[in-house]
Amino acid sequence: MSGLLQQLFNGLVSGSFYALLALGLSVIFGMLGVVNFAHGAFYMLGAFGAFVLLDSAGLSWWLALLVVPILLGVIGMVLERLFVHRLMHLFPLYNFLLTFGIALILQDLIRMKYGVTSQPYARPSILDGSVDLGLFTYPKYQVFVFVFSIALSGLVWLVLSRTRVGMIVRASTERAELTQSLGIDVRRWVTPVFGFGIALAGLAGVLAAPMRAVNSSMGADLIIVIFAVVVIGGLGSVLGSVAAGYIVGMVTAIGNFYVPALSQSLVFVLMALVLLLRPAGLFGREEGVHA
């Protein structure tokens, strides 16, 4: 029993990464109608940001956790202003070409500078060791990752459900054009929301640096799963994508435990099932986000 619980907890930890990435992806998709294929690249840049700041400026991981997402968020906003907003009224193929192109360029820039092998990154020493969770002991760092991402998701949820800004973001995510014609300057919100989504991806990257291999392809390998997570959660449902992140994490962990060979495809089997039974996704439009 404790073995199964431990697997579920494993799932929650990896789900933390899925949730943070899916959250940003889903807000960006809702508000701009843009599927951001570069999302994984920003996750990778987050991890590299932490590495570079430590390596060249001796900046601790804790500071990186603050600085890197802000930096990447700003870069995201610049990219949005320069390129991404032009996609809003174009054929979806351009969306793919631009964002996938950005992903490849970012990956190759990192590869030119740092090669293909992984960069070393040690976790902060205060998070070394394990904690006793009652039924089992668990690495302290990973417990931190889980608690941190749950707290952050909770905070985002509060902002989305309780504030006027949150209401505007929900409305614009669901129907951008209508919201525009109801007197809200959606475009003014698009840029910061894009930056926020990118910052979350970067934050996930910083969190990943001490426990995952830091290399140029780390985001590309992850992004496909994240797309599946967003579809499972329901396109246009911001909180659905967070919930789906944790659910997919747990399903994958259980799958890994009982049938390791299948675990890779399990996410996509789950996606196919959800699409068959609830085409709008688990938390799709019908049930949306309520205050």
Partner 1 sequence: MLNVDNVTARYGEAQVLQGVSLDVDTGEVVTLVGRNGAGKTTLLRCLMGLHRSMTGDIRFDGTSIATLSPHKRCRAGLGYVPDDRGIYASLSVEENLTLPPVVGPDAWSLEKVYETFPVLAERRRQAGTHLSGGEQQMLAMARVLRMGARILLADEPTEGLAPLLVRQIGEIIRTVKEHGVTVLLIEQNVHFASTVADRHYLIAQGRVVESLDNAEVEQREHELLEYLGI
Partner 2 sequence: MATKLTTAGALTATIAMGAVIAGCAGAGGPQSDSGAITDDAIKLGVITDLSGVYSELAGPNAVEAVTMAVEDFKAEHGEDVVTQNIEVTDADHQNKPEIANTTAREMYDRDGVDAIFDVPTSSAALAVANVAKQNQKMYFNIGAATTELTGEQCNAYTYHYAYNTYMLAHGTGKTVTEQGAENWYIIYPDYAFGQDMNKSFTAAIKDAGGSVVKADPTPFPNDNFSTFMTKAPTLSPKPDVMGTMQAGGDLVNVVKQYNEFGLRDKGVELAVGLMFDTDIASIGVDKLEGTLYTTPWFWNLDDQSREWADRFKDRTGTRPTFDHAANYSAAMQYLQAIQRAGSDDADTVREELDGHTFDDFFARNAEFRAADHAVTHDAHLARVKEESDVEEDFDFTELVETIPADEAYMDAADSGCEMG
Residues that bind partner 2 (CB under 8 A): 3, 6-7, 10, 13-14, 111, 115-120, 122-123, 129-130, 136, 139, 141-142, 208, 210-215, 217-218, 221-222, 252-253, 256-257, 260-261, 263-264
Q: Is 125 in the site for partner 1 (CB under 8 A)?
A: no
SS (HEC) of the chain: CHHHHHHHHHHHHHHHHHHHHHHHHHHHHHHHCCCCCCHHHHHHHHHHHHHHHHHHHCCCHHHHHHHHHHHHHHHHHHHHHHCHHHHHHCCHHHHHHHHHHHHHHHHHHHHHHHCCCCECCCCCHHHCCEEECCCCEEEHHHHHHHHHHHHHHHHHHHHHHHCHHHHHHHHHHHCHHHHHHCCCCHHHHHHHHHHHHHHHHHHHHHHHCCCCCECCCHHHHHHHHHHHHHHHHCCCCHHHHHHHHHHHHHHHHHHHHHCHHHHHHHHHHHHHHHHHHCCCCCCCCCCCCCC
Tell me which residues in 252-291 interact with partner 1 (CB under 8 A): 285-291
Among 153, 173, 191, 252, binds partner 1 (CB under 8 A): 173
Binding characters for partner 1, 19-38, by CB under 8 A (x = yes): --------------------
Smallest distance from the beta carbon of 237 to partner 1, in angstroms? 7
User: Is residue 158 a contact residue for partner 1 (CB under 8 A)?
Assistant: no
Quick one: 210 or 240, whose CB is closer to partner 2? Answer: 210
Q: Which does 180 bind (CB under 5 to 8 A by kind): partner 2, partner 1, none?
A: partner 1
118 or 161: CB nearest partner 1: 161
Q: Establish if 186 lies at the interface with partner 1 (CB under 8 A).
A: yes
